[in-house]
Structure formats: C-alpha cells, structure tokens
Structure 1
Amino acid sequence: MSHEAVFVDLDNTLYPYQPCNEAGQQAAWETATDRGYDVSRAAFESLYSRARAAVKREVSETASAHDRGLYFKRAIELQAGTPNAADALALADAYWDAYIDALSLFDGVRETLDRLRDAGLDVAVVTNLTTRVQLRKLAATGLADRVDCVLTSQEVGREKPASVMFTVPLARLGVAPADAVMVGDSVASDVVGANGVGLTSVLCNNDRTGLTGRESPDHRIESFRDVTDVVL
C-alpha cells in the first residue's frame, strides 16, 4: 500500500517523557523551596498529584488538562490556602525549562523524519497538549523544520482520539484517510483515533497485548525508526 502522509505523536513517541517530567518536577520543587514554601519533595509530589487530578476532572479531554500552570496554581492554593500568581508562574517556568533541557530524542528520529520527507511523504505532528509547549519541544530538538504540519489539541478544542484531531491535518495536507499513517505510543489516543477515521494505525513503544476491535493497531513497531518498514 502506498502512503502520502505520516502523522506522528510527540510525547513518548519521539522522545521519552519520564526523564523530562522528573527533571521538571525537581526544578519546580526547588523553586518552591527557594520561594519560601516549607515542603518536602514527597509532600510536593503529593500536592502536585492532587492538583493535577483536580484539574483533569474539571477540564478533561481538553489541552488545559495538561497545563502545568494550572497544576501549580492549584497546588499552591492547596498548600497556602490562597492563590499566588507570581509563584505559580515561577514554578511552571522552572518545570518547563528543566523539562526542555532534559529532552533527548529517541535514536534515529531525525534521520527517520528526513527519510520520510525525502521519499515525498508529508509529515504532521498530531499531539495532545498546549501549542506553546509543544512548539518549544519541536524547536529545541530541531524537529520544527522537519515537519509539514503541527496540530495540537489546543487548536481544535478536543483531544485525540476525537476525529477532528485527524481530519484537520488531513484537510490541511490534502490527503485522504486511507493514504495516511498514524504513529503513536497510546492505544486510547493514537490507535483508537486513527482506526476511527480510517488511517493506518501504528503502535510504537508499547508492548500492551490483548488488543481487539478499535484498539487493535494495524502495525506494531519497537522504535520510531521502524516506521520506514511500514510506509516505504
């Protein structure tokens, strides 16, 4: 089967998320203690988790559900009993600065994207999160100039697996669903979403088994560089 476009998820598909998140949380905690909050790292993580859960309940299935600024704003309110805009901004900035500094792509990502585009395929990053943060990641890793389209869930007001997250980049690139591939690490977001719209679904960096129906990917690959075996 020939393909005209490859859609790729960003987080945990092109780079490992956990080391970045750990670096970000450490930096945010250090900033909190520097600004006078008497809280241990363990207590800080507990506050963060409670705040994150509350935000996700209130704004689920939107890009705001991932907004660290909202998490830290709520965490400060839980800790101090009152909002503090300056501190919330400082913690969020510290988190994302450290996160970006720790970001390192999986082996072969740049080379694979170059191969796809050299072969005449359009490449789109289709990602759940806020636009500014995702653009920072793409710029910091040198990927911004290697893709033809970027769509974040903030732009359309819905998150994968919502069909609009796939139909919008299809329309922008002028590609039919049957001619596009979606590569991602999430069954619920990437595979289910792609299957629902009619894209070829490729599950990457995920060894989950027993998948059936809309959760069943068309292909599995162990690393992103293997996507060329599917589309070229």
Structure 2
Amino acid sequence: MIGDEPSVETVETTEWEAVFWDIGGVILELESVQSAHAAFVEGIVEECDLEMTVEAAVDTWRTAVGDHFREREGTEFQSAREAYAKGVEALVGEPLPRERWEPAFEDAVRSSIEPVPGAVETIADLAERDLHVGVISDVDDAAGKEMLEAFGVREHFDSITTSEAVGRTKPDPAMFETALEKSGVDPQRSLMIGDRYDHDVKGADEMGMRGVAFGAEDGPAVSFRIESAEDVLEIVEDADPGA
C-alpha cells in the first residue's frame, strides 16, 4: 500500500550495468600460484629422485609450460592441464599417467593459492547491487570455477566465461561477445577489470566496453586505473558511464 515502509533494505542502484573480472592477477594472486607450482615441482624432484636442484627443476617446468602455450595459433585455446602434463614430462623424461601426479598438483594448488587482497570483499559487495557480475578469463573451465569456489565467490557471479568453454583466448572478440550475450547488458555500461593491456583492457575496449587497468600498462584503451580491488567500488558509485 502507498506509504508503507519496505520490509527489506533496498540496494542503491547504479548507472553501470555490469562488472566483469579476469581471474589471474585480478582475483587470484599470481605469486601464490607460482608458489604452488614450485611446491609441486619440489615434490616431483623428491618422489622421482631427480638429479637436479629444485631451482633447476622449476626453470625446466616453467619453460615446458610456457612452450606449450607459445605453440598455439593466434587466440586458439590451449589447455593448462596439458601444459602441466608437458611440464611433468620435461622433468622426468617421459610422460606420466595423470593419476601419478595430478592429485599432488591439485593439493599443492588448493593449499597455496590466495586471492588478491580486497577482491573477495569487493565481489561480494558488487553482488548486492543492481549489477551483472561476471568473469571473462583465459582458464580451463573446471579449474577456474574451482578457484572461485575456493575463495567463496563463485556464487556471487551471474556468469562465468572461460577460454575453454569458448575455444578462444582474449583478446579474441568471441570471449567478450559471449560474456555480453550471457549478460544482456550494454557494452558501454560495462567494466572489464584486467591486469594485461592487450588481452583484457584493449580487447574489451574494442568491443565497446570500458577497460579498467589493474596492474596493466597504460594505453588509450584504459578508461580507469585502479590500485586495489576496492577501487572498483568508487568507479561504480561515482563515475558516469556516459562521460
């Protein structure tokens, strides 16, 4: 009835329609991933009694993993799972069945990965607003979702768009087109938070989205620059999408 007070607290609306997040370097602290991989490699060195230092083994692992991704053509998706298998093969000198190494790898990741400071709280805050909150990330689908689950934020996302699901990597337009189709939002009223200029910020800008640089280098596609995850809230609250 007219004059009745609302029974629940209303959430302040915003002119922005969506906030999309990359995962690595934006939600997921990359140094913690490197620590997880180093711990896993150290375990392989010990288990297989490899005649190399841990430092040399980590270098061998990272080179093999990096070579796997460099072999892809253009923005074609390359599975991280396959890259890690190549890393193990480079260490031990032969392919190993996944059941020999994958459980240890997953344990190392689960016990080591950490979120970027403030990211979890900011995502939870955005989820309470009249916004579409999404992910656009170059990750294996299951692994990306497991990371978000581990940080307790998966339930806050309205959509999750991964390279494995799309078959391409950023800055391929298909990544951003897929996310926008899922959300049904106006690209010009959408923010894309990323730590890489060409892949995240410029790729989003070319689709009409507004790029938010979080550690990414400068360039004409940068609409906003933030120093912490919480700074996103200031953009949502104070910045005009039409400006």
> For the superposition of Structure 1 and Structure 2, which TM-score range results when normalised by the shorter chain?
0.7 to 0.9
* Matching residue of 1:64: 78
TM-superposition CA deviations, 1:166-212 (whole Å, max 9, x none): 11111111112112111111112110111110001111134x3xx33
* Matching residue of 2:7: none
Work out which of the two has the higher radius of gyration on C-alpha atoms and give 1 or 2: 2
Aligned counterparts of 1:204 and 1:127: Cα–Cα separation in 2: 14
Contact preservation (8 Å) 1:13, 1:204: yes
Aligned counterparts of 2:83 and 2:129: Cα–Cα separation in 1: 42
* Counterpart code for 2:52: V
State the shift of 1:43 in Å: 2.2
Aligned counterparts of 1:19 and 1:91: Cα–Cα separation in 2: 20
Residue 59 of structure 2 corresponds to residue 49 of structure 1:
no
TM-superposition CA deviations, 1:61-104 (whole Å, max 9, x none): 34425x1x433433444455432224xx5434323321222222
Residue 52 of structure 2 corresponds to residue 39 of structure 1:
yes
Distance 1:112 1:76, change over 3 A: closer
- Any stretches of 5+ residues in structure 2 without a counterpart? 1-13, 238-243
Of 193, 204, 208 in structure 2, the residue corresponding to residue 194 of structure 1 is 204
Aligned counterparts of 1:53 and 1:105: Cα–Cα separation in 2: 23
Residue 41 of structure 2 corresponds to residue 28 of structure 1:
yes
Aligned counterparts of 2:87 and 2:179: Cα–Cα separation in 1: 35
Residue 21 of structure 2 corresponds to residue 8 of structure 1:
yes
* Matching residue of 1:84: 96
Of 86, 89, 108 in structure 2, the residue corresponding to residue 74 of structure 1 is 86
* Counterpart code for 1:189: H
TM-superposition CA deviations, 1:133-186 (whole Å, max 9, x none): 111101111011111111100011111111111111111111121121111111
Contact preservation (8 Å) 1:76, 1:83: yes
The CA RMSD over aligned residues, in Å, is 2.1
Contact preservation (8 Å) 1:112, 1:225: yes
* Matching residue of 2:124: 114
Please identify which structure carries the higher helix content: 1
Aligned counterparts of 2:132 and 2:92: Cα–Cα separation in 1: 49
Distance 1:82 1:15, change over 3 A: closer
Distance 1:10 1:76, change over 3 A: closer
Equivalent pairs counted in the alignment come to 223
Distance 1:185 1:77, change over 3 A: closer
Q: TM-score, normalised by structure 1?
A: 0.86
Distance 1:77 1:97, change over 3 A: closer
Residue 238 of structure 2 corresponds to residue 225 of structure 1:
no
Contact preservation (8 Å) 2:172, 2:203: yes
State the shift of 1:55 in Å: 0.8
Residue 219 of structure 2 corresponds to residue 212 of structure 1:
yes
Aligned counterparts of 2:111 and 2:209: Cα–Cα separation in 1: 34
Q: Secondary structure at the match of 1:227?
A: helix
Q: Secondary structure at the match of 1:150?
A: strand
Contact preservation (8 Å) 1:64, 1:129: no
Aligned counterparts of 2:197 and 2:135: Cα–Cα separation in 1: 17
Q: TM-score, normalised by structure 2?
A: 0.82
Which contiguous aligned blocks of 4+ residues in structure 1 show a shift greater than 4 angstroms?
A: none
- Any stretches of 5+ residues in structure 1 without a counterpart? none
